[in-house]
Amino acid sequence: GDAEKWAQVDAWFTEKLAPEGPDLKYTLANNADHGLPAHDVSALQGKMLALFIKMTRASRVLEIGTLGGYSTIWMAKALPHYGSVTTIEFNEHHAKVARQNIDNAGLTERVELHTGAALDVLPMLKAPFDLIFIDADKANNPRYLEWAIKLSKQGTVIIGDNTVRGGGVIDSETQDPNVQGLRHFIQMISEDERLEATAIQTVGEKGWDGFVMAIVNCPSC
């Protein structure tokens, strides 16, 4: 079927363009060993985040939702030596496994991992960040967007994961709080004059989903 073909094409491009080093392979294996859900971005998506960091010459990156640190590691490896990823994980077990994966990748110095609710941690962070990846509980995306803008400067890039959910995003009658949060997040982006945005649907090994990406234009922030 289509889903199988999408996964095969992902595997082909991954081998050509975004092969995972031992650190990323270890991360996925270690996550599975510790019962973490396979909700990581794909290798090609991780590489895309890495390229965005290089394209924008980002050095301060914020990630909301670490899980096992797979995307964290892709991003940290793309940074200059003086760069850093600040990443926030609510689940203590996930954070412990992420810490192992980050240490194993030799990125301990480049990653600041906070364990706790993002809405408690975000107020303690020092602005600004150059790139912000939002990939946690989608019901809170509207709050995360407000914080992302507060922690931005002119030109900051904000990226949201899982913004299509198999087409669920266009269901205005949805009772799923995650899809409701997602829809509100998109509505806020569309109404905010400081944000210039687009959405890209993706298919692949992770099914049918997508990213929203925005640039912050706020001369006064």
Residues in contact with ligand DHB by the rule CB under 6 A: 39, 135, 161-162
CB-CB contact of 86 with 129 (8 Å): yes
- Smallest gap from Cβ 87 to ligand DHB, in A, equals 13
Give the max Cα distance, the chain. Answer: 51
Partner touching 42 among ligand DHB, Mg ion, none, CB below 5 to 8 Å by kind: none
- Smallest gap from Cβ 94 to Mg ion, in A, equals 13
According to the binding rule CB under 5 A, does residue 89 interact with Mg ion? no
- Smallest gap from Cβ 161 to ligand DHB, in A, equals 5
Partner touching 96 among ligand DHB, Mg ion, none, CB below 5 to 8 Å by kind: none
How far is residue 141's CA from residue 187's CA, in Å, rounded to a whole number?
A: 11
Dihedral, CA of residue 118, residue 148, residue 209 and residue 38, to nearest 10: -30
Which residue number, 10 or 161, has a Cβ lying nearer to ligand DHB? 161
According to the binding rule CB under 5 A, does residue 161 interact with Mg ion? yes
Alpha helices (H) along the chain: 2-17, 22-33, 43-55, 70-78, 92-104, 118-121, 141-150, 177-191
- Smallest gap from Cβ 162 to ligand DHB, in A, equals 5
- Smallest gap from Cβ 188 to ligand DHB, in A, equals 19
According to the binding rule CB under 5 A, does residue 209 interact with Mg ion? no
How far is residue 179's CA from residue 170's CA, in Å, rounded to a whole number?
A: 9
For residue 123, give both structure tokens.
């107020």
Build a one-symbol-per-residue string for 128-157: x at contacts with Mg ion by CB under 5 A, - elsewhere: -------x----------------------
Q: Which of 96, 112, 119 is nearest to 30 (CA)?
A: 96
3-class state of residue 67 by DSSP: coil
Which residue number, 70 or 129, has a Cβ lying nearer to ligand DHB? 70
Contact residues toward Mg ion (CB under 5 A) are 135, 161-162
